Amino acid sequence: MIRASVLGATGYLGGELLRLLLGHPGVTVAQAISTRLPGRRVDAVHPNLRAVTDLSFGALDDLADCDVLLLATPHRATMELLPTVMARGRAVIDMSGDFRLADASAYAAYYDTEHTAPNLLGTFAPGLPELYRDDVAKADLISVPGCSAAAATLALAPLRGLVRPEVQIDARTGSSGSGASAGDANTHAERSGALRVFAPARHRHEAEVAAHTGLTVRMTATGTPAVRGVQVVCHATAAGEITERELRAAYRAAYADEPFVRIVAHRRGAHRLPDPRILLGSNFCDVGFALDGDRITAIGALDNLVKGGAGAAVQCLNLRLGLPESLGLGFPGLHPL
């Protein structure tokens, strides 16, 4: 049985990791570490885990060796913490933004601070198995992409070579993307019913999408009244003449064998294009497209806490430690919801 420990286990991503790992037939949760609430019961913070576990949060100083160490710690804090704990895990999977970019100057530009562990930048395999499966399977350090970056990358990847380099991405995200310790702007009174454009330009995930796709990316982001879910609408221009049949063939070729990517591009019906609502709790990313002349609109949707975070981390864990890739990730989502 693989021993997994979660660092940063009190947040939303940490809670999702615990939910998935506690139900995983090949994994035992060795420790759930919290710098804020050591000694407190896990189910006092994550009430959905009542009667599932008797674990209590451990202190950082108590972190022991394990097969895989999963970090759900915040951006900027992770780069300070990781060098002191990375030796505890045979493999390390990070879900923060601190090691997603390979260049220190790019990190400073998008995160508004200097990187404190620049020697580790570029040493992490991107935790997106659909594009980097072989790298993930042999990597000791893995960095899971941001939720909007994952959705946009998977929506755009089949279009490489078929579109002009410049792409505009409009991302919409639920409030859980701000984390469990979000500030005053994310209280219910401020967020409920709002459509808040919080990144009118240069959203930090645009650098990730550019790195993964080779495209020139411009990205905006809007907060929606939902709690979970990400949807990205990507606008591109065809590089030459293309038909809908050829476009569909490109997506099928890219994802025919992928267990967690579904092509959703129908002409009619209530669910004819990707909608995050029916993906909540699942590790699926739905991708779709529409064609109008030379204009291609690519759409991606996922649950930001699962395929956009904890689920992707477990998928990477499975690959790295030689388990079936889909193990522990079979939940298909709910409908109606």
Helix (H, G, I), strand (E, B) or coil at 125: strand
Pairwise CA distance, residues 281 & 129, whole Å: 19
62 DSSP 8-state letter: G
Pairwise CA distance, residues 291 & 43, whole Å: 48
220-251: burial string, b at 16+ Cβ within 10 Å, e else:
bbbbbebebbbbbbbebebeeebeeeebbebb
User: Count of CB atoms within 10 A of residue 30's CB?
Assistant: 22
Closest CA to 314 of 144, 82, 139, 147: 144
Active site annotation includes 147: yes
Strand-pairing partners, residue 42, are: none
Catalytic residue among 66, 147, 285, 316: 147
Query: Parallel, antiparallel, or unpaired: how do β-strands 2-7 and 66-71 relate?
Result: parallel
Write out the catalytic residue numbers. 147
